[in-house]
Structure formats: structure tokens, C-alpha cells
């Protein structure tokens, strides 16, 4: 009897987490880019590495292409570029991302982050929020091992395939 009750409770708790509503693929997306945070010892001593800056651009291009292939319209965000430049990280700005999305008239806002813990351990995430409600409609975080173009792309493709565009 305990197993039945526990199963029912788990079903009610996990159900909302597992259920993802369909995204409006004709919706407009304000993509605020992918932010890089280096908390590694290497970063503290040597600063930004050019190859990692190039990988951020590679991820941003990959995300943009994937969303466009799914039918999403990416908006010109130049009208909020000054506000975005003053924002250290749109993933952690107390709703400034939603407010910028409202100014743009976007359906969704999208932004990501890559955190370098060490040269072998990195975490990346991508979050999409509904501008009207401010609610997260998609989001996923993965840890990757290895600091190469291939490992970064593999991590982002995993996020896109298994969360954003999961059929």
C-alpha cells in the first residue's frame, strides 16, 4: 500500500515538471546571447582566452541556426543594446531580460551561460522565457568534460535536442 501511495504522490509531483507545452514556433525570439563566466584558477591568473571567446560565438550561431530551422523569428535587439551592454548577465538580472523582451515586443526571450569551473569541467545552460508571463518555458543545464569546440557543440546540441526541440 505504501508503494502505491508513494507512486501516486511522485506522479503528481513530477507530472508538471515533465509536461512541456508546445512552443509557438511562429513566435518571435529576442536572443540575448550566451554569457561566459570563468571561475577557474586559469581564468583568474591569465584572463580571457581567445579560443573560448570564439566558442561562445560558435554556440550563439548554433543556437540561432537551430531556432531558425524550427521556424522561429529572431528579432533585432539593437533598440535594447545599451541596456543589454550594462547588464552583466541577462540570466541573472532580476527580470531585466523580460522587460527588454517587452520593449522589443518579443514572444520569447532566450539566453544562455557557460561557466568554466576548470579547463576540464564546464557547465552550460540555455533558458527560454515567455515574455508575457515571465515563466520559463524551456531550460536545461549540462556539464561537459573537455574544453574543445566539439565538446561545447555536443553540450549545446544535447540541450537543443533533448529539451527545446524534443519531439
The domain segmentation of the chain, as residue ranges, is 24-164
> What does pTM read for this prediction?
0.82
User: What pLDDT score was predicted for residue 59?
Assistant: 98
User: What pLDDT score was predicted for residue 130?
Assistant: 96
Grid look-up 538580472 returns 93
CA dist 93 and 116 (Å) reads 20
Mean pLDDT of 81-92: 80
Provide the angle, in degrees to the nearest 10, between the axes of the packed helices 50-69 and 149-159: 30
For Cα atoms 113, 119, 121, give the angle at the middle one, nearest 5 degrees: 60
User: What pLDDT score was predicted for residue 104?
Assistant: 95
For residue 28, what is its C-alpha cell? 518571435
Question: Mind listing the pLDDT tens digit for each residue in 134-165?
Answer: 999 999 999 999 999 999 999 999 999 999 99
CATH number of 24-164: 3.40.50.10610
* 98 contacts 110 by C-beta, under 8 angstroms: no
CA dist 115 and 92 (Å) reads 13
Question: Mind listing the pLDDT tens digit for each residue in 42-72?
Answer: 877 888 899 999 999 999 999 999 999 999 9
Q: Which residues pair with 142 in a beta bridge?
A: 124
Question: Mind listing the pLDDT tens digit for each residue in 98-136?
Answer: 999 999 999 999 999 999 999 899 999 999 999 999 999
- Bridge pairing between strands 28-38 and 121-130: unpaired
For residue 19, CA distances in Å to 15, 85, 166 come to 6, 35, 12
* 142 contacts 158 by C-beta, under 8 angstroms: yes
For residue 126, what is its C-alpha cell? 540555455
DSSP string, 120-145: SEEEEEEEEEETTT--EEEEEEEEEE
Amino acid at each position: 500500500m505504501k508503494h502505491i501511495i508513494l507512486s501516486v504522490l511522485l506522479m503528481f509531483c513530477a507530472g508538471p515538471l515533465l509536461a512541456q507545452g508546445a512552443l509557438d514556433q511562429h513566435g518571435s525570439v529576442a536572443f540575448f546571447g550566451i554569457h561566459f563566466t570563468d571561475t577557474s584558477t586559469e581564468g583568474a591568473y591569465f584572463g580571457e582566452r581567445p579560443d573560448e571567446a570564439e566558442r561562445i560565438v560558435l554556440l550563439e550561431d548554433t543556437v540561432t541556426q537551430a531556432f531558425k530551422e524550427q521556424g522561429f523569428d529572431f528579432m533585432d535587439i539593437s533598440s535594447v543594446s545599451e541596456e543589454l551592454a550594462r547588464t552583466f548577465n541577462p540570466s541573472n538580472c532580476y527580470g531585466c531580460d523580460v522587460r527588454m523582451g517587452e520593449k522589443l515586443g518579443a514572444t520569447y526571450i532566450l539566453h544562455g551561460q557557460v561557466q568554466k569551473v576548470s579547463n576540464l569541467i564546464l557547465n552550460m545552460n540555455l533558458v527560454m522565457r515567455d515574455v508575457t508571463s515571465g515563466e520559463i518555458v524551456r531550460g536545461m543545464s549540462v556539464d561537459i568534460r573537455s574544453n574543445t569546440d566539439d565538446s561545447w557543440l555536443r553540450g549545446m546540441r544535447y540541450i537543443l535536442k533533448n529539451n527545446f526541440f524534443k519531439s
